[in-house]
Amino acid sequence: MQMYADEQQLVKFLLDSGLVSRAQVAEVTRRAELSGDAFSRELTQSGLLDEDELRKIIARGAGIPFVTLSIDDIAPEALVSIPEPFSRTHNMVAYALGEGVLEVALLDVADAEHFAALRPAVSHRARFRLTDRASMKRALLTYQKVLKDGFGRQLADTVGRVSPLSDMSEDALRAAAESPEAASVVDALLQHALAQHASDIHLEPTEQGLLVRYRIGGALHDAMLLPGAAALSIVARLKLLARLAVVPRGAAEGRFKVVVGDAALTEQVSIKVAAMSAEGRERVVLQLIRESLNRRGFSLETYGLHGEQLEQVHRALQSTAGLILVSGPAGSGKTTLLYTLMDMLSGTGRSLATIEGSIEARLSGVTQTATDAAAGITLASGLRGLLRHDPDVIMVGLIKDSETASLAVAAANRGMLVLAAIEAPDACHGIARMQALGVSPLQLASTLRMAIGTRVVRRLCAQVRASHRLSRLDIDTIERYADLGRVLSTLKDERSVARSVAWKDLVFSRPEACAVCADGYHGHLGLVEVLPTSLTLKELIVHEADAGILADEAHEEGMLTLGEDGIAKAALGLTTIDEVVRVME
């Protein structure tokens, strides 16, 4: 928390307030220098002042009004002037609008500079105020009510006008799919799901109607029940957009894109459609992929890398040749991590290309190719074609067979940097899997620069959480997945906890439901293990050592395992012990 950029000015405000003595200021300054933390953070952690008291002092000293907001103080027309994701990211909410002036409340005066990014979408002049965290929380929760009411009314108005279908012929279904009513329902449904931060939409026919469920933070939540009479038209509309046959024919997959938002804050969303018909009913799952991630820039830090892991990956990316192998089971974040690495390389002046099963997001400055069975483009044939174009960096979406594995290693041996994913439990099993696919041990050892293992856990909601200390049972459980001494040492080395802290002092978090997150989780977080290949590891690979032997050596060399990385993140309040255990079992 940095509430004020000028620490000397902050100290003056504090002394003028009379709430803190010079001796206390000196002691807090000394602690901040020792810990490396900001003065304001050390001040609140010392217990002399809480965050909101500090905000009030800053507001008074800087001549900025301080406001406490109730739900009744927040005008919906002002609130929606700033998009909800922007407000949540920068702790900035607009709560009143009048005579061309937008009243904007902040938690940190430094965040006022972010308002410039909203131009020209917001034409009003902003007047900034500081507020407390409870007020900010109430304002952010109000977004959900405003969005729910608005989209709820829109859906209710349009779905009621969708005519029931008595004829299921292709012509009748196509006509229904092209109707303005079906188009309005689907548009409203997609906007509502995206506003709720859903990653997937499930449409499931039931006796009562069409059940709509959203996957938010990794868990499915019932969103609404639409009339069964409208189900055929809605499903037909989605299939039409995805260029699929509107008549139910077993399993089918397709995709389409939509643009959401307004003015300068639009984003493109790619929607993968999977339809399955059985017994006269059709079930549809939509996967929502926000392609605009590449415009904001991927980040290893936001994915979950930290400390020495970050330094090791940055060093590996500076290599002009070699193989970086990303391992994990299905749904473990391999593709997201590969995209992050490719996005980091896109501004380095190198020629970048990919061959992927499907293009999840468009990367600026990268030539991306998707496999196409009808056109005869497989991963292996696509990779072989890319080699003829001699790019500097190649990303292989997922190595599945011996030919693709051998081509990837051959490309790395020819002087290209190859980033590739493979399905395996962890980094060491990824190496063993490449050996099992018949890759020459000598070539693999000479080209492998780094192996990375990954998993994805749900991230704790920042709004509400319950604290607890570990019980003996908790410790017994996590010791199956982590060396607790190594975890604590890592946290201390990264200055995440004080040197004097012991395991009994650490406070962990449990999820607690709130209006934003029904289960207490919001978003996802990567668990990562990073294994640079040392000379010893290369020798083991040449001698075809199994994953267990490789893991023992990796741990001996200091690699933080997936379980250890997960426990460290739980100790920092980013996720929970339960989540780490869930993905490790």
Spell out the domain ranges in the chain.
7-62, 66-141, 160-290, 295-584
Residue 144 confidence (pLDDT): 64
Residue 518 confidence (pLDDT): 61
Residue 3 confidence (pLDDT): 44
Residue 141 confidence (pLDDT): 79
The confidence band for 5, taking pLDDT boundaries of 50, 70 and 90, is: very low
Q: What is the pLDDT of residues 452-482, one digit of tens each?
A: 999 999 888 776 666 777 777 778 888 888 8
Nearest to 282 by CA among 245, 240, 225, 232: 232
Q: Of residues 344 and 408, which shows the higher confidence score?
A: 408
Residue 202, pLDDT above cutoff 80: yes
The confidence band for 401, taking pLDDT boundaries of 50, 70 and 90, is: very high
The reply to whether domains 160-290 and 295-584 share a CATH topology is no
Long-range contacts of 25-28 (CB under 8 A, 24+ apart): none
Residue 214, pLDDT above cutoff 70: yes
Average pLDDT of span 525-544: 94
Residue 399, pLDDT above cutoff 60: yes
Average pLDDT of span 147-170: 62
Average pLDDT of span 353-377: 83
Residue 2, pLDDT above cutoff 50: no
Q: Of residues 8 and 237, which shows the higher confidence score?
A: 237
The confidence band for 38, taking pLDDT boundaries of 50, 70 and 90, is: low
Residue 6 confidence (pLDDT): 60
The confidence band for 295, taking pLDDT boundaries of 50, 70 and 90, is: very low
The confidence band for 434, taking pLDDT boundaries of 50, 70 and 90, is: very high
Q: Is 160-290 in CATH node 3.30.450.90?
A: yes
Average pLDDT of span 294-314: 77
Lowest mean pLDDT among 257-266, 277-286, 516-525: 257-266
Average pLDDT of span 388-399: 91
d(CA 526, CA 537): 25
Residue 58 confidence (pLDDT): 75
Residue 451, pLDDT above cutoff 90: yes
Average pLDDT of span 303-322: 89
Average pLDDT of span 494-500: 83
Q: Which residues pair with 451 in a beta bridge?
A: 325, 531
d(CA 373, CA 354): 17
d(CA 564, CA 491): 11
Q: Which residues lie below 8 Å from residue 33, measured CB to CB, with a gap of 6+?
A: none
Q: Which residues pair with 524 in a beta bridge?
A: 458
Tokens coding 455: 């998993």
Q: Of residues 159 and 560, which shows the higher confidence score?
A: 560
Tokens coding 528: 């990562």
Please name the amino acid found at residue 554: A
Residue 262 confidence (pLDDT): 47
Distance of CA 95 to the CA centre of its chain: 28
Residue 286 confidence (pLDDT): 92
Give the CATH number of domain 295-584; options: 3.40.50.300, 3.40.50.720, 3.90.220.20, 1.10.10.10.
3.40.50.300
Tokens coding 495: 């200055």
d(CA 519, CA 38): 33
Backbone angles phi, psi at 2, to 5 degrees: -120, 100
d(CA 38, CA 31): 10
Instruction: Please state whether the predicted TM-score (pTM) of the whole model is above 0.85.
Output: no
Q: What is the pLDDT of residues 107-151, one digit of tens each?
A: 888 788 878 777 655 678 889 998 988 888 888 877 766 665 665
Residue 546, pLDDT above cutoff 60: yes
Average per-residue pLDDT for the chain: 82
Residue 4 confidence (pLDDT): 47
Q: What is the pLDDT of residues 40-91, one digit of tens each?
A: 666 766 667 767 777 877 777 677 888 988 877 888 778 877 776 678 778 8
Nearest to 354 by CA among 336, 368, 335: 368
Average pLDDT of span 389-402: 92
Residue 448, pLDDT above cutoff 90: yes
Spatial contact of 427 and 488, defined as CB atoms under 8 Å apart: no
Please name the CATH architecture into which domain 66-141 falls: 2-Layer Sandwich (3.30)
The confidence band for 296, taking pLDDT boundaries of 50, 70 and 90, is: very low
Residue 294, pLDDT above cutoff 50: no
The confidence band for 530, taking pLDDT boundaries of 50, 70 and 90, is: very high
Average pLDDT of span 275-283: 79
- The DSSP element (H or E) to which 566 belongs, if any, is helix 562-571
Lowest mean pLDDT among 189-198, 402-411, 443-452: 189-198
Average pLDDT of span 180-209: 82
d(CA 197, CA 192): 9
Helices 562-571 and 577-584: crossing angle, nearest 10°?
170
The confidence band for 193, taking pLDDT boundaries of 50, 70 and 90, is: confident
